[in-house]
Amino acid sequence: MSNVSRALARKFRTLACGAALVGALSAAAQAASMTFRVEPLGDGAKAIVAEGQITNTTPGEFLEFLRDNAGDRDLHTVIFLHSEGGYVMASMELGQIFRRIGAATVVARLAPEGRGGRFLSANCLSACVYAFMGGRKRVAPQGSALGIHRMFANQEEGGLLDSRVVRRYDNGSMAAQLMAYSARMGVSRDLIRTAEQISSSSIHVVTSAEMARWKLASRVF
């Protein structure tokens, strides 16, 4: 990990929350489900790329991915994230897996080799932030965005002729779980308190000062 970290640091120098309540999707509901793949970093090292919406099956699919690649000695637990959000509970579960394997989480995308700068800006919005929290080292390079907002669930009500979608909000119990989780991950509970004050129809992009104050991430590896 240390060799990869140093390589990433050299490369980087040259270079929105609660998405959903339990059992409900965020505003990114139509996005493709998260996939995982291995990408080369250079000098023989490889990293994990995770892109797409976090669904209820994502944690199990990540564990299966890890089993399938367990024999790759060049694969380091550096995870590049690009996601608009998904399910809150699944995101926390995924974050806990990241923590168990000692992963570093990075909000960035990897461009194909041979195309100049290797690292591209990315987003980790809504519930993705909770998965990101699981990293033992967390990096959001300049140009990439971490975004938070209030948790919500879109629920369909009425009958066949008068159905409508109603947005429901947390009664406080889910926020309490998230604050406990964030504390375990070493992130300030104030992140959750702030997220719950942001309209569910918008995204607050976390500033560099907030990242530092909440111990959420740094801009450099």
Sketch the domain layout of the chain as residue ranges: 2-213
Chain segment 17-70, per-residue pLDDT in tens: 333 333 333 333 457 999 999 999 888 899 999 999 999 999 999 999 999 999
Residue predicted with more confidence, 159 or 174: 174
Q: Which of 7-16, 110-119, 149-158, 199-208 has the lowest mean pLDDT?
A: 7-16
Of 197, 179, 167, 85, which is closest to residue 132 (Cα–Cα)?
A: 85
For 46-68, give one letter per residue: b (16+ CB within 10 A) or e: bbbbbbbbbbeebbeebeebeee
CA atoms of 130 and 114, how far apart (whole Å) = 33
Chain segment 70-122, per-residue pLDDT in tens: 999 999 999 999 999 999 999 999 999 999 999 999 999 988 764 545 789 99
Tokens coding 216? 């959420």
The CATH number given to 2-213 is 3.90.226
Tokens coding 177? 């779980």
